[in-house]
Amino acid sequence: MAALKYKPIHIIFYVFSLIFTFSANSSKAELPRLLQPAKPDGTLSFLAIGDWGRRGSYNQSDVALQMGEIGQKLDIDFVISTGDNFYDNGLLGLHDPAFQDSFTNIYTAASLQKPWYTVLGNHDYRGDVGAQLSPMLRALDNRWVCMRSFVVSADIVDFLFVDTTPFVDKYFVQPNKHVYDWRGVLPRQTYLNNLLKEVDMALRESTAKWKIVIGHHTIKSAGHHGNTMELETQLLPILHENDVDLYLNGHDHCLEHISSVDR
């Protein structure tokens, strides 16, 4: 993204593969925090994917096959999902077969049997958000880790997952016949104010050498959806102030690497 420091990214079949080498460290924040250990040699490898829940269609099964092969070569530690996990309208409930049809039965490779750290996208908010967030889904597939906003600490890198959908005004004022599940979000401004404070605190208190933020929506984009003005004005200044190294998102269904020489 613009104005964030350049870091190399290897792109393979619509999947981003990032490899980092780190040593141990930790940090504190009010957001839920999970620990992800690095390998004994200090390396860490993961795949990131977004906008995928298609019951195997739209090339999802082909991408899953390539993910399995690359995941094995890289010996990945986990997978990141940037949201829109189930099309078109999220999950209907805890027993919606879309969970198995779009996730468990698609990503079957041995290398992908690792934690999947997941945020929600706008399509997920059109379904039963509580179902996607429920820890009961882990009884169906123990890879599934989904929360609104949280931190994954992996030695000297902190991954900060941010719930971006509630920032976007049009989902509230022009939903275009879609019904969004705003339980847990309303009153909206209170939710956003608290979230921004928690994100800022998590980044300020982080002692990690690397800081990577993950959200569903674009901040800057040359793609179909373009820039997300609400994130530009509210979230981006916090990322700049806290020297975030990379913002990773989905939503625009295209590959972009946006950087700036002045950061």
> Per residue, what are the HEC states of 93-106?
CCCCCHHHHHHHCC
- Classified by CATH at the fold level, domain 33-249 comes out as Purple Acid Phosphatase; chain A, domain 2 (3.60.21)
CA distances from 94 to 38, 136, 182 (A): 32, 8, 17
**Residue 224's pLDDT band (cuts 50, 70, 90):** confident
Phi first, then psi: give them for residue 221, nearest 5 degrees. Answer: -165, 145
pLDDT in tens, 140-161: 999 999 999 999 999 889 999 9
Query: Is 240 considered catalytic here?
Result: no
Cis before 187? omega within 30: yes
Cα gap 156→27, rounded to integer Å: 9
Q: Which two tokens stand for residue 128?
A: 């039963």
Was 77 annotated as part of a binding site? no
CA-nearest of 160, 157, 244 to 198 is 160
| Candidates 10, 178, 224, 225; catalytic one | 225
Find tokens 């992996």 and name the residue.
154
Does residue 51 have a known ligand-binding role? yes
Q: pLDDT tens for residues 186-218?
A: 999 999 999 999 999 999 999 999 999 999 999
For residue 20, give the nearest of 216, 116, 205, 158 by alpha carbon.
158
The answer to whether residues 144 and 118 touch, using CB atoms and an 8 Å cutoff, is yes
- Interval 50-62: pLDDT, tens: 999 999 999 999 9
**Amino acid symbol at 229:** M
122 is in an annotated binding site: yes
Return d(Cα 219, Cα 262) in angstroms, integer.
17
Token pair 């705003």: residue? 182
Say what the pLDDT of residue 164 is: 98
Q: What is the pLDDT of residue 84?
A: 98
